[in-house]
A = this chain, B = another copy of it.
Amino acid sequence: MANLPSIPKGTRDFSPEISAKRNYIFDTIKDVFRRFAYRQLETPAMENLSTLTGKYGEEGDKLLFKILNSGNFLKKVSDNELCERNTAKLAHLVAEKGLRYDLTVPFARYVVQHQNEIIFPFKRFQIQPVWRADRPQKGRYREFYQCDADIIGSNSLINELEIVQMIDEIFTKLNLKITVKINNRKLLAGIAERIGFPEKFTEMTVAIDKLDKIGLEKVYEELIQAGISEDAVNLLEPILNIGGSFDDQMQCIEKFLGETESGITGIQEIQKLFDYISLFSFNNNIQLDLTLARGLNYYTGAIFEVVSDEVQIGSVCGGGRYDDLTGVFGLKGMSGVGISFGADRIYDVLENLNRFPENVISNVKLMFVNFGAKEEKYCLPVLQKIRNADINAEIYSDSVKMKKQMKYANSNNIPYVAIAGENEIRENKFTLKNMQTGTQELVSANQMINILSE
């Protein structure tokens, strides 16, 4: 046999079984987004490279998939430029478009482009694939879906509350136990100020963010390597060792921050958000985590991260507030807050815990066995009746050996098989076989519909 065809590395086919499981996750997320009045937006897979470049750091630029211009793509390249072989420079001459790298930049681009039509605040969700020319490895793909919800054009902390509510509801519906960690970037800025290194804010948050993974000692090392003095690092001790109830933590951080400006605002915001949160009961843990930092530079207020209580897999969801997402495209002063669900990680957790509902992959309820022309004529109108009752069903297309037909039903997880031979036709009935228990009963078409509708 010839070599089998294949797909590019880091990409995946989703078979019907995997597709059904993924749809279960996407549909659960979408339903909750819609319940909270977020509206779906879809943007093109391709964006102009001028939209994408410079938005994800130097490393990100390298990971953009670029689309070769159609036709004579060397049109704008001189012989000299060609011979130089400077691919970084050449890439922008031969490719004007790139594939979407995330959903945030296209969202910001959309908001700025359509600012005159949009009624703010604008609540949008978006579930689409993104592409990154990353080195593929376990759990890291070159094409994967992001599930984002953002509201832009509102400063209200109600939005932060609703994000926490959406997280709680989505994971409750998915039957997963999680913890929502919340912090505020302004508190982190206050801390950097308090230890006398406001200019090391980014380095400090990056180091602190690793506390869970690398432990206290290594975080100290990293802070010192980043140029923060040993005295300053020692000042951080109460923060890095913080614990106890929400009130204990708030007391500690208030004392620590004193009168730093961003610290005071941060404390007010956290207090107000937790006041909102206290109005409701949640199924999952919601906790303040002063060591939560999150990597993305554009966050300026509340930040969120969600971890599974049951499987060690890193964060399954994260987000935060940003004060200037659209500024880079020329629209200033738009504050927003958003959240992104990691569908692939959630899939892995559900698979790992065997928590996909049983009926997710078996949405076909019944298969008619095909015995030939006469029997087909008897079965086909009943099949239509069953489908008209909103039941997914089929008849095996060809009149082949019974064993082959039953194998098909089995492989496709079809729970019931209907058999009509001479006897059944004479009695105007069907033998209905339950594929799980193996039991059979003789039933009318209407009885069959009742059983299948249960």
Interface residues of A (CB under 8 A from B): 1-8, 11-16, 19-20, 22-23, 34-37, 39-48, 50-51, 62-63, 65-68, 70-74, 79, 82-83, 85, 87, 90-91, 94-97, 99, 109-110, 112-114, 117, 119, 121, 123-124, 129, 131, 133, 142-143, 151, 154-156, 158-159, 161, 165, 276, 279-280, 329-330, 363-364, 367, 370, 376-377, 380-381, 384, 387, 390-395, 397-398, 407-408, 411-412
Give the shortest distance, in Å, between A267 (CB) and chain B (any CB): 18
Q: Is the CB of A363 within 8 A of B34?
A: yes
User: Which residues of B sit under 8 angstroms from A51, Cβ to Cβ?
Assistant: 5, 7
A119: contacting residue among B11, B109, B161, B407, CB under 8 A = B407
Identify the closest chain B residue to A91 (Cβ): B68
Bound-state Cα–Cα, A411 to B118, Å? 9
Bound-state Cα–Cα, A71 to B1, Å? 34
**Given A90-B74, A276-B380, A397-B43 contact (CB < 8 Å):** no
Give the shortest distance, in Å, between A83 (CB) and chain B (any CB): 7
Q: Is the CB of A392 within 8 A of B156?
A: no
A44: contacting residue among B11, B22, B151, CB under 8 A = B11
Q: Is the CB of A158 within 8 A of B392?
A: no
Q: Is the CB of A112 within 8 A of B73?
A: no
Bound-state Cα–Cα, A44 to B13, Å? 6
Give the shortest distance, in Å, between A46 (CB) and chain B (any CB): 5
Q: Please list the 9 inter-chain residue pairs (A to B) with the smallest Cβ-Cβ separation, ordered nearest first.
A: A16-B39, A37-B394, A11-B44, A2-B330, A156-B397, A154-B397, A14-B42, A70-B133, A119-B411
Identify the closest chain B residue to A15 (Cβ): B41
Q: Is the CB of A85 within 8 A of B74?
A: yes
Q: Can you pick out 22 interface pairs between chain A and chain B where the beta carbons lie within 8 Å of each other?
A: A1-B330, A6-B48, A8-B44, A8-B96, A14-B41, A16-B39, A16-B40, A16-B124, A34-B392, A35-B387, A45-B45, A45-B129, A46-B142, A62-B70, A62-B71, A65-B70, A68-B68, A68-B91, A94-B94, A119-B408, A123-B394, A154-B398
Identify the closest chain B residue to A386 (Cβ): B35
User: Which residues of B sit under 8 angstroms from A67, Cβ to Cβ?
Assistant: 65-68, 99
Q: Is the CB of A19 within 8 A of B35?
A: no
Give the shortest distance, in Å, between A5 (CB) and chain B (any CB): 5
Bound-state Cα–Cα, A113 to B41, Å? 34
Give the shortest distance, in Å, between A298 (CB) and chain B (any CB): 17
A19: contacting residue among B39, B94, B376, CB under 8 A = B39
**Given A13-B41, A65-B67, A124-B16, A158-B395 contact (CB < 8 Å):** yes
A151: contacting residue among B34, B65, B397, CB under 8 A = B397
Copies of the protein in its oligomer: 2
Bound-state Cα–Cα, A87 to B74, Å? 7
Bound-state Cα–Cα, A19 to B48, Å? 22
Bound-state Cα–Cα, A406 to B45, Å? 35
**Given A68-B95, A71-B87, A46-B395 contact (CB < 8 Å):** no
**Given A36-B394, A397-B154, A7-B43 contact (CB < 8 Å):** yes
Bound-state Cα–Cα, A165 to B1, Å? 38
User: Which residues of B sit under 8 angstroms from A117, Cβ to Cβ?
Assistant: 15
Identify the closest chain B residue to A115 (Cβ): B4
User: Which residues of B sit under 8 angstroms from A158, Cβ to Cβ?
Assistant: 370, 376, 380, 395, 397
A398: contacting residue among B68, B131, B156, B390, CB under 8 A = B156
**Given A46-B143, A330-B2, A412-B119, A40-B19 contact (CB < 8 Å):** yes
User: Which residues of B sit under 8 angstroms from A82, Cβ to Cβ?
Assistant: 82-83, 85
A47: contacting residue among B7, B15, B35, B62, CB under 8 A = B7
Bound-state Cα–Cα, A40 to B41, Å? 22
Bound-state Cα–Cα, A344 to B42, Å? 15
Bound-state Cα–Cα, A3 to B370, Å? 64
Q: Is the CB of B97 within 8 A of A397?
A: no
Identify the closest chain B residue to A381 (Cβ): B279
Bound-state Cα–Cα, A267 to B182, Å? 71
Identify the closest chain B residue to A51 (Cβ): B5
